[in-house]
Chain A
Amino acid sequence: MKKKIILTLLVCIIVSYFGRIEKEIIDELEVATAVGFDSKGKNKIEATAVMPLIKPDKTISNKTVSTIGNLSKEALSNVNHKSHKPVVNGKLEVALYSKKVAEAGIQDYIDTFHRDPSVGSRLLLTVVDGEVKEMLQETFEEFDTGSYIQKQLSHNMERGLIPTSNLHLFLSSYYTKGMDPVLPLIELKDDDINIKGLALFKGTKMVDSIPFRNMFVFKSLFENIKMAGYKLKTKEKGKTEYFSIQGISTRKEFDVTHIHKAPEVTLHLKIKGFIREYTGEGVSSKTAEKAEKLMENKVKKEAEMLIKKFQRKNIDPLAFGEQARSRTRHWDEKRWNQQYKNMKVNVKVDVMISEIGVVDGLEL
């Protein structure tokens, strides 16, 4: 019995002495919420990390640390040198890349995040038009810059016009055969963060972008929209009139024909919504019909224009390749890539305006 007790005590002492693991107390760490990368001349990268700073009166402000290095990893670890507490990346919310960095390719940066188990799959990635450092040094009320950008982007994904994306989805679309990734493109404008459009990638290199005004159509072609708004402009009797259509939900269906010879993609887009505002004469069921026709035409034209652009640039953000692959046995990726540029794509749009609001007919 005595022997057993001594043995147990001995094991306890040995294990608790040698088995210690470095403590990580949250108050003694800097928890980075955002990192940004700027290109600084040849092969030099400037990494900027944002850490929230909670003041005694409970207001939150920012602390940014920037360092220059040759590799993304080196630049990031240099951040530690400049900080008085160790910096951890377990709560990283958003990673920003300047346009220049994105155009050179973000392979290495993505690999760093992908390999690190402490970085979450929900990390948002975004491309910045302009200097990232400048954007991250900006202060916004209530939140630190990292959380602020994350909140703005994610609510715009849920009920706005940015296609849903995060680290996992970026990797998915990168690894999917017959698909190229897309990321939001933002800029700093009058001390506010402005969604400028979308950055289009070929692999991990940014090759093109589309402006904000095309984002509704792009998102409806990319995924099903739950809640969004759209503005229509028409000329009636020499007067410009505007429709505002709200509460839009969309559904898309693909059809690929003649897969083995000359593939042809048909995109069937169904849009549902209701009229909120109309600057012309009183809203009635006739106006709704007019709006439906107008919208059908406009969306169709815009969609065709976008797809033409993608084909010309040889990128496939809408995953036509994936649609073809999942419909054929022994899909030939190489042949598809050759055919993609000159492939025929038909777009069919169906708009249904279901409601015209809570008043009917006459003007006030």
Chain B
Amino acid sequence: MKVPVKDQYLINPSLVFFIVHSMQIGVGVLGFQRYVAIYTEQDSWITVLIAGATIHIVIWIMYKMLNKEQGDIISIHENVFGKWIGGLLSFLFMLYLIALGITILRTFIEVLQVWMFPLMKTWTFSLVYLIAIYYIIAGGFRTVVGACFLGVVIPFYLIFTFLAPLEFANFRNLLPVFDHSIKETLSSFKTMTLSYLGFELLLVYYPFIKKPETSQKWAHYGNLFTVILYLYLMLITLVYFTPEHLKRTIWATLTMWKIIKFPFVERFEYIGIASWVVVILPNLCLAFWAASRTAKRLFNVKQKKVLIAILTITLIANTLLRDRASIDLLNSRVSKIGLYFIYGYIPFLFVCFSFINKVRKKT
């Protein structure tokens, strides 16, 4: 079932690189190291590689499905499970996307409150930020992709700032290599995949790509770039922190920035956090765009109206989450759902999809 999208709304296949990559990089980068290092300590960089490799497989599976269907997840659901059950599953997917958006925004505001402005109110920042997001999404999918592009390019210079902590690096921290059991690696693997989440939105924007089959390699490149970035960060973190120290550091990336000192800026993390506003902007735009798009396809309503409803829910939910414990809980719940979604549900859907297609061909 082909989902028709007008020609002027289509994007170049190579831009998929930026969409996939920018959605994967988000608030998680500021502190993913700790959650992995709890289990595998100095071997955490291996987990980064393994998790990245499995994501490539999932992307491949998704393209297999989408290429055949030439549609999005809603049409696949309808095709496989029928109108009602399929619709319900798409609705759940939409809820997941909204929850993802809420989590990203609230976690970032928490960082702002802890590191920069302890007295900042959650709702004022959310309101201003969500208005900007509404403005971008109202411009259509192409504007959202533009935000993704800028969200990768503008903060790119930050990569070089991570060379500064090497002044106090202890390379012995990486030794001995392969000192952890498969069980420990598996536990850390679970938490690492969370940092790679975000590419699954491909299931929604696939029909917006011009000649979508050709975009597969760009999606893989995008993920590869994410893997390289995470590996780079993880290696630097591991040589800078002793494992025991890292396990106690909530935002390892930000803590590393604390060592940078310029004559004109006492500490660098203020610039880093401010730059991160640009990094999470495409995250939120894509998540809310995808949620409102799913709603539009499901209920046949105007996307802008749904968007306003979604953003209002986000604003309220953000304000209701008050302390670190509840934010942490939300984070772990949402990422768990994401984990089951990419490793459980997508392969399951793929199996059902191929099975039904085969049966239909025979009859």
Contacts and interface: CB of A to CB of B under 8 A. Distances in A.
Interface of A: 11, 14-15, 18-19, 21-22, 90-91, 117-118, 120-122, 168-169, 171-172, 175-177, 322-323, 325-331
B159 interface: no
Contact of B117 (A11, A15, A21, A169): A21
Given A122-B261, A168-B168, A172-B241, 15 more contacts: A15-B124, A15-B127, A19-B120, A19-B124, A21-B117, A22-B119, A117-B254, A121-B259, A171-B245, A172-B245, A175-B244, A176-B242, A176-B245, A326-B173, A326-B175
A120 B261 CA distance: 9
Contacts of A328: 176
B245 A18 contact: no
Interface in B171-227: 172-173, 175-176, 178-179
Interface string B161-172: 000000010101
A117 B119 contact: no
5 contacts: A15-B128, A117-B254, A323-B172, A329-B178, A329-B179
B258 interface: yes
B68 interface: no
Contacts of A322: 172
Given A11-B127, A122-B259, A175-B245, A18 B172 contact: no
A118 to B, nearest CB: 8
A121 B245 contact: no
Contact of B168 (A19, A118, A169, A323): A169
A19 B127 CA distance: 10
A21 B120 contact: yes
A329 B176 contact: yes
B170 A120 contact: no
Nearest to B179: A329
Contacts of A120: 258-259, 261, 266-267
Contacts of B128: 11, 15, 19
Contacts of A331: 176
Instruction: Name the residue among A14, A90, A117, A118 with the largest chain B CB count within 10 angstroms.
Output: A117
Contacts of A11: 127-128, 131
Contact of A172 (B114, B131, B170, B178): B170
Nearest to B120: A21
Given A11-B127, A172-B241, A172-B245, A327 B259 contact: no
B244 A327 contact: no
Interface string B112-146: 00110101110011011001000000000000000
Contacts of B248: 175
Contacts of B14: none
B255 interface: yes
Given A117-B114, A121-B255, A175-B242, A18 B266 contact: no
Nearest to A169: B168
B261 A176 contact: no
9 closest cross-chain pairs (CB), A and B: A19-B124, A326-B175, A175-B244, A175-B245, A121-B258, A176-B242, A326-B172, A175-B242, A121-B259
A19 B125 contact: yes
Contacts, number: 72
A331 B258 CA distance: 32
Interface of B: 114-115, 117, 119-121, 124-125, 127-128, 131, 168, 170, 172-173, 175-176, 178-179, 241-245, 248, 254-255, 258-259, 261, 266-267, 269
Nearest to A326: B175
A168 B259 contact: yes
A21 B267 CA distance: 20
Contact of A19 (B121, B170, B242, B254): B121
Nearest to B251: A117
Instruction: Name the residue among A14, A169, A175 with the largest chain B CB count within 10 angstroms.
Output: A175
Contacts of A90: 266-267
A278 B144 CA distance: 75
A211 B115 CA distance: 40
A56 to B, nearest CB: 24
Nearest to A123: B258
A330 B181 CA distance: 11
Contacts of A327: 175-176
A2 to B, nearest CB: 18
A80 to B, nearest CB: 16
A331 B179 CA distance: 9
A172 B242 contact: yes
A306 B47 CA distance: 41
A326 B168 contact: no
A344 to B, nearest CB: 22
B244 A176 contact: yes
A172 B124 CA distance: 39
Contacts of B242: 172, 175-177
A176 B243 CA distance: 8
Nearest to A19: B124
Contacts of B241: 172
Contacts of A175: 242-245, 248
Contacts of A22: 119
Nearest to B42: A326
A177 B258 CA distance: 24
B114 to A, nearest CB: 6
A11 B172 CA distance: 54
Contacts of B119: 21-22
B95 to A, nearest CB: 27
B136 to A, nearest CB: 16
Nearest to A177: B244
A91 B127 contact: no
A329 B180 CA distance: 9
A330 B168 contact: no
Contacts of B245: 171-172, 175-176
B171 to A, nearest CB: 9
Contacts of B179: 329-330
Nearest to A90: B266
Contacts of A330: 179
A328 B42 CA distance: 13
Nearest to A16: B124
A325 B254 CA distance: 28
Contacts of A19: 120-121, 124-125, 128
Contacts of B244: 175-177
Instruction: Name the residue among B114, B124, B255 with the largest chain A CB count within 10 angstroms.
Output: B124
A22 B120 CA distance: 9
